[in-house]
Amino acid sequence: MGPMRYAWASATDPGKVRKHNEDSVYPRDLGVDESGFIAAVADGMGGHIGGEVASGIAISTVADSDHLTPEETLHAANLAVIDGILDNPRLAGMGTTLTLASFGDQGALTVAHVGDSRAYLARDGTIEQLTTDHSMVAELVAAGEITPAQAKVHPYRSVITRAVGLERNIEVDVLDKPLEVGDRVLLCSDGLTSMLDDTNISAVLAKGDDVAATVWELVDAANAAGGEDNITVVLIDVVE
């Protein structure tokens, strides 16, 4: 098996309710890359200025992370956001999710994440959530205290239990997944997954439209369902 290529596109949209977009994404736009390609989504918090700044710092760190592993990049982004607060104490309390996917030689995918921005793998008409949300409701579901359906409408559904920028030591989840030609990898902020369930997302991905069309189909579907939060997606197709 030779080196794989990755066709990708990203989209970000403030949604229907919020004036500001506190999400950030890497890369912007669309293209085709060989192995070594990196994609990431960050969902900032801490007031609209702090949220935009925190997710922007995290994504800038990703853009400059050539020599780092995904896990090292998450730790570097964390320290960069903390430094941003030291430089401007009015931003105290800002933080961000960060979900990063690194695409290696011959389909080696590594995902590192903190927070509730997700990575999915679409293969053979179904999707698998690769990441575990670091959120209060995900912990309650895992403990059997509420159902997934209750989690969707829980008043604390947007409360995350881990974030980049809040403390110097963070726990980063890292997973590896071998990819095959035909796979689609989706990174997204919770503005997508709070509006669409996995079945809805899978249906859009299974249509098989090209990445540039599909990312906006996902954004449009989340907006049609209410668009209550900023919506950000990166879709990466594994192509020969």
Residue numbers at the binding site for Mg ion (CB under 5 A): 43, 189-191, 229
Closest to Mg ion by CB, 193 or 214: 193
Query: At closest approach, how far in Å is the CB of 177 from Mg ion?
Result: 24
Distant-in-sequence, close-in-space partners of 202: CB < 8 Å, separation ≥ 6? 122, 125, 126, 127
Closest to Mg ion by CB, 24 or 61: 24
Residue 27 preceded by cis peptide, ω within 30: yes
How far is C-alpha 238 from the chain's CA centre? 18
Closest to Mg ion by CB, 189 or 214: 189
Query: At closest approach, how far in Å is the CB of 107 from Mg ion?
Result: 30
Block residue for tokens 């604390």: 156
Strands 184-188 and 118-123: antiparallel
Query: At closest approach, how far in Å is the CB of 117 from Mg ion?
Result: 8
Closest to Mg ion by CB, 133 or 190: 190
Query: At closest approach, how far in Å is the CB of 216 from Mg ion?
Result: 18
Closest to Mg ion by CB, 18 or 177: 18
Query: At closest approach, how far in Å is the CB of 191 from Mg ion?
Result: 5
